[in-house]
Structure 1
Amino acid sequence: MDFRLVTEKDDKAVRRLWSYSFNGDEPFFSWYFSQFYDRGNGLGGYENGELLTCLHLHPYQLSLRGSSLAASYIVGVATDPAARRGGMIRRLLTASLEEMRRRDHWVSILMPSKAGFYAPYQWLLCYHHLVYMVKLEDLRPLAKPAGNILYIESVTLDFFAQSYARFVAGKHGYVERTQQDWLHRLNEHINDRGFVYCLEMDGQPAGYIMYSFKGKTMLIKDMVYADARAQAALFSFIYGHRSQAEFIDWNAPLDDLSYLSLFDPKQDIRMYPFMTARLVDVAQALEAIRYPAELEDSLTIRVQDDMAPWNHHCFRLTVSGGQGRVEVADQAPAQLECQVGPLTQLFFGRLSASQLWRQGALTGQPEAVAKLGAIFPPCVTYINEYF
């Protein structure tokens, strides 16, 4: 099988595979392929010239441990039904790792329909949300009006960028949204019959909310706020929709504490697995990020990766002055050992070294595990991109 980037003559086949695999729901299907799709990011698998499988590698910048890393967001993994169950997805994902490495994208993210499907390929969960399915009436203790609510047409894209920057401060793994990202995000939402309002406080951008209605539920697709006061003001805005909706459906950051103050906290608030990630190139990724400035340390860690041979090595990581240096050290005794998936969870900050060690995903002596934990402290991961 031949794997390569798709071309213009493949457009019909790409759309057919997407429509068959993902139902081709409108208006998103037409918007995606007319406004967002870039065939230069489409990777296909061909047999006798026929496209049998494909995926899309959308480029983003992720903020990871103090650095901005180019990343590929894998979406639209689709295979012709006549070609399934032949190991084709594994070959396609292997080809995607090679293509991402060629692009100098050292990390990738992927939103799975079923996380277990991608786990054998080492795309493991690195992001979770808290999902609130609660009654609007029970937001009453959280709702405190403040500031000015503005309709989208009265603000600029910079208003969204400033609000978002204040919201993600202190968070980790988020997308550094460009102006084009904002245009895509807002246009797709409005095209899908969504609403957008913004919050201004003390003359400054303080937040926004993107939402729609489905029956008696207010679906909150994206809500950001500069601080607790701004969040309370947006809750007040939501609370004002009690005549239109009975419930809210909201994906909140994992560190959100709103559930502690609900009028009736005994409702459906759950941890939701949102996004997987995978290191594409271990050595390059480890050298690209910042480390705790006070650390001076060195560790050897053996990484297992049967899809990317450039990762299947024992690496020596030396940390000094906030920088990391990585060398292949296959002849050295490994102090730690793990597969590339758990190392990704550590790198992204979703799980600590001790958590991985306790669940058996990382092996090594406790002293080495403690050292690794100091090098990679846990972080509050957050992302809210859907394609």
Structure 2
Amino acid sequence: MLIRRLAAEERLTTSFPLQAYAFEASPPTRDRVEAFHRYLPYNKGNRTLVVEEGGETQATASAVPMRQNLRGAVLPMAGVAGVATHPLARRQGYVRALLRQLLDEMRDSGHPVSALYPFRASFYERFGYVGLPRARTARFSPADLAPLLRIELPGTVRWERIGVGYARYRSFTERCLRERHGFAIFPDFRDVGLRDRDDRWLITATVDGSVLGALTYRIDDHGGELVGDDLLVADPYARALLLQFLARHVDQVERISLQVPADELPELWLTDLAVHVEARVARPSSAAPMARLLSVDALAGLPAGPGRVRMELVGDRWLGGTHLLDGTTGRLELTSGGPAPEVTLTAAGLSALAYGVLDPVEVHIRGLGEVGPEAAAELRRLFPRALPYLFADF
């Protein structure tokens, strides 16, 4: 078995066909095969590995060099994508070998965190990943937004094609990256595909001279649905401005759907808003994202409460050893001395605490660590619960 990194053009005949078979309608049409060439430039900075045996490609996996906010710190992130195996080579350990090599290389190149959308969550949990909240879909009638049309709001809305407004949109997602826990964005070489496809409308809300809200969307047909992507807002006025714009489509579409983060509450946007909010997780078509730490150093300097615990990390290729976590200064410090309650954690257990998605007792219940009552209290102070919002779908 040989694992090697692909040169850019090799993707056309190796990784792209395997990924298309795994994730798209199959067999691909001639137009779809030709589309591989158009898609190639948006993969130029990815790290793509393949397993070869007997001169044949058996499996492939890629890492997209992204950035993610972890409790206020923006860190280089390895976005794992395109994990696919030849149908005659499945369940033979090729993906495990690929992931070990891929994460080794990404960690060594300075990526202390990683995220992905799993084909099976339990498989990736064994690789130290833990589940993150899935974005919700909110569906409602534009007629129910009518009260917003009678309100004078501060700020303005701009409407344009995404190809024209892309720079403004990208700048706002950079702001979200700095301000929002869990938020992740693509590198420039990948993200410009949104601009180049130019298949979305863009609305942006500006309040006091700053863009504080953005939404990309398309309309499927007259009398049909206005299909929005992620509703990105940093201010309630910005949200109201975007919804007010959508209200003006009452005589054009029957319904509106938007993607919203888990901490957004559409049922409280307006009185008498009839809204259906759903987070659907299914295998293999609709997975919730997962993330993990690849280096304990990612924790250094994060905001923390006044807790103190000694943790032993076990069962992982990338995280191990004993570390004393101290948050008494308001920032997490990794030290070596002094008394503290002790805890044993897997990589998934520590990742769950760092991302804020599980309580220490839930870590214990899930079999991701051994956590006693005293240590649990300290861990709650060190890692307060938080709702990460990954945003990027890769």
User: What TM-score results when the alignment is normalised by the length of structure 1?
Assistant: 0.84
Aligned mate of 1:115, from 113, 121, 130 = 121
Q: Secondary structure at the match of 2:101?
A: helix
Q: CA deviation at 1:299?
A: 1.9
Q: CA deviation at 1:83?
A: 0.1
> Could you list the runs of 5+ residues in structure 1 that have no partner in the other structure?
none
Which amino acid in structure 1 is aligned with residue 293 of structure 2? L
Q: Distance in 1 between matches of 2:65 and 2:341?
A: 34
Q: CA deviation at 1:13?
A: 1.4
Q: Secondary structure at the match of 2:393?
A: coil
**Pairing 1:303–2:313 present:** yes
Q: Structure 1 residues 12 and 200 mapped into 2: Cα distance closer, same or farther (>3 Å)?
A: same
Q: Distance in 2 between matches of 1:55 and 1:12?
A: 14
Q: Structure 1 residues 67 and 169 mapped into 2: Cα distance closer, same or farther (>3 Å)?
A: closer
Q: CA deviation at 1:120?
A: 3.5
Contact 2:161 2:200 in 1 (8 A): no
Which amino acid in structure 1 is aligned with residue 299 of structure 2? L
Which amino acid in structure 2 is aligned with residue 277 of structure 1? A
48-57 vs 201-210, which deviates more? 201-210
138-147 vs 343-352, which deviates more? 138-147
**Pairing 1:276–2:282 present:** no
Q: Secondary structure at the match of 1:85?
A: coil
Q: Distance in 1 between matches of 2:71 and 2:233?
A: 22
> Could you list the runs of 5+ residues in structure 2 that have no partner in the other structure?
282-287
Q: Distance in 1 between matches of 2:252 and 2:37?
A: 28
Aligned to 2:24: 23
Q: Secondary structure at the match of 2:139?
A: strand
Aligned mate of 1:186, from 183, 195, 211 = 195
Residues 319-358 of structure 1 mapped to structure 2, 5 A cutoff: 319=327, 321=329, 322-325=331-334, 335-357=342-364
Contact 2:46 2:65 in 1 (8 A): no
Q: Distance in 1 between matches of 2:337 and 2:96?
A: 26
Q: Distance in 2 between matches of 1:12 and 1:132?
A: 40
Aligned to 2:249: 241
Q: Distance in 2 between matches of 1:116 and 1:142?
A: 45
Contact 1:148 1:201 in 2 (8 A): no
Q: Secondary structure at the match of 1:160?
A: helix
Q: Distance in 2 between matches of 1:198 and 1:168?
A: 17
Q: Distance in 1 between matches of 2:111 and 2:56?
A: 28
Residues 107-256 of structure 1 mapped to structure 2, 5 A cutoff: 107-141=113-147, 144=151, 146=153, 147-152=156-161, 159-164=168-173, 170-175=179-184, 180=189, 182-188=191-197, 190=198, 193-215=199-221, 216-256=224-264
Aligned to 1:11: 12
Aligned mate of 1:372, from 363, 369, 379 = 379
Q: CA deviation at 1:312?
A: 3.7
Q: How many matched pairs?
A: 376
Q: Distance in 2 between matches of 1:133 and 1:75?
A: 29
Q: Structure 1 residues 27 and 365 mapped into 2: Cα distance closer, same or farther (>3 Å)?
A: same
When you count strand as a share of all residues, which structure comes out higher?
1
Which amino acid in structure 1 is aligned with residue 246 of structure 2? I
Q: Secondary structure at the match of 2:251?
A: coil
Q: Structure 1 residues 320 and 123 mapped into 2: Cα distance closer, same or farther (>3 Å)?
A: same
Alignment root-mean-square deviation, CA: 3.3
106-115 vs 155-164, which deviates more? 155-164
Q: Sequence identity, in percent? A: 24
Q: Structure 1 residues 154 and 133 mapped into 2: Cα distance closer, same or farther (>3 Å)?
A: closer
Deviations 1:190-218 (A, max 9, x none): 2xx32223233344323222011335222
